[in-house]
Structure 1
Amino acid sequence: MGHQLLVAIPVMLLCLLLQGIAVAICLRHYAGFRARWEGREPLWMDISLLMIVMLLALACNFAQMMVWAGLFMVLGEFDSFASALYHSAVNFATLGYGDIVMSARWRMLGPIEAAHGILMFGQSTALLTAAVLDVIKSNMARVQGHS
């Protein structure tokens, strides 16, 4: 398992970097967009902001699945990127179908990716929750300002 961790750690660090960049960009743009519309926030803006946050989080998670799939290809575990990506997505999303398995030498990378995926989906959920709470807070402040 030691060699699998040595291979997985750089991939996890790259994925964490991708997630960190996505979150930082998302939060900066979110805050800037929110500030420009302060006091006159129509419903469409709240919906648009939440959809953008969701799509960016999903895109970032998908990009991480692609990074893991790339690793599986480099290791020679799959003949096609499509198969590697499918296997990666099953691991990352913790579905665990088991219809495709890697060789015994690299099989432990599946659970390692699954543990990483759980953390990344949790982080994406936290980001979306923060955005939803901000929308609620903004709407409450607007309602209280009109009373």
Structure 2
Amino acid sequence: MDEGSAPKPVLEIVFGTLIMIVIIFVHGAGIRTINQRFSEAWVHVNDTTAYWRLNLLLAVTIGSLAALHFTETLLWAIPIFLAGLIPSMRDSYYYVLESYTTLGEGSISLPDRWRLVGPIIAMSGLFTFGWTGSVLVSIMTDFGKLDKVRAKDLRDRGPPEGTDPEP
């Protein structure tokens, strides 16, 4: 694309908005899949489930959420690279990661006539990270409820035999 051509804000906004819609759709489908898998595993959890299994479930869930975000940023970087807005795929991905996370302190930038795309990338990141945060709150609520059940069971059983009860 010619560096000297005049900015076309409508084209920038349409380009960015179409990709953002794809990203948010992918995020919704990914979140739903991750949440379904978590729920399928969680129904097998009870107050005797080993802590390492619970921790593994949490780690896999968090890893899946991170992989989803890396996929989404790749889906942003590919059209930016293919459109020739940033000449290398690595730099395109770096730019998208900076914009998506709203870090924005790198040395790579879009051509001036395409700079409206950067804030749209940031909007998609804010939206998807917020959605991911709400899923993590829901998951941690489940863990908190289990912890309360376990604490109540420990309290109801009393101290192990041969130990002095606390004063």
Asked if TM exceeds 0.5, the reply is yes
Counterpart Cα distance in 1 of 2:144 and 2:70: 28
Matches within 5 A, 1:35-50: 35-50=43-58
Paired residue type of 1:119 = F
**SS of 1:37's equivalent?**
coil
Counterpart Cα distance in 1 of 2:133 and 2:54: 17
| Equivalent residue number for residue 88 of structure 1 | 96
Q: Deviations over 1:1-55 (max 9, x none)?
A: 2211211122111111211112111111111111123342221122112212211
Q: Give the TM-score taking structure 2 as reference length.
A: 0.81
Q: Over alpha carbons, which structure has the higher Rg? A: 2
Matches within 5 A, 1:128-143: 128-143=136-151
| Equivalent residue number for residue 24 of structure 2 | 16
Structure (1/2) with the larger helix percentage: 1
**SS of 1:79's equivalent?**
coil
| Equivalent residue number for residue 54 of structure 1 | 62
**SS of 2:110's equivalent?**
coil
Please report how far the alpha carbon of residue 64 of structure 1 lies from its aligned counterpart in structure 2 after TM superposition: 1.0
| Equivalent residue number for residue 164 of structure 2 | none
Tell me, yes or no, if the aligned pair for 1:50 and 1:128 is still in contact at 8 Å.
no
Give yes or no for the alignment of 1:78 onto 2:82. no
Number of aligned pairs?
Answer: 147
**SS of 1:36's equivalent?**
coil
| Equivalent residue number for residue 100 of structure 1 | 108
Counterpart Cα distance in 1 of 2:32 and 2:153: 30
Tell me, yes or no, if the aligned pair for 2:100 and 2:121 is still in contact at 8 Å.
yes
Please report how far the alpha carbon of residue 145 of structure 1 lies from its aligned counterpart in structure 2 after TM superposition: 4.3
Identity %: 21
The gaps in structure 2 that reach 5 residues or longer are: 1-8, 157-167
* Higher relative contact order structure (alpha carbons within 8 Å, sequence separation ≥ 6): 2
Counterpart Cα distance in 2 of 1:77 and 1:4: 11
Tell me, yes or no, if the aligned pair for 2:30 and 2:68 is still in contact at 8 Å.
yes
Counterpart Cα distance in 2 of 1:106 and 1:74: 14
Q: Give the TM-score taking structure 1 as reference length.
A: 0.91
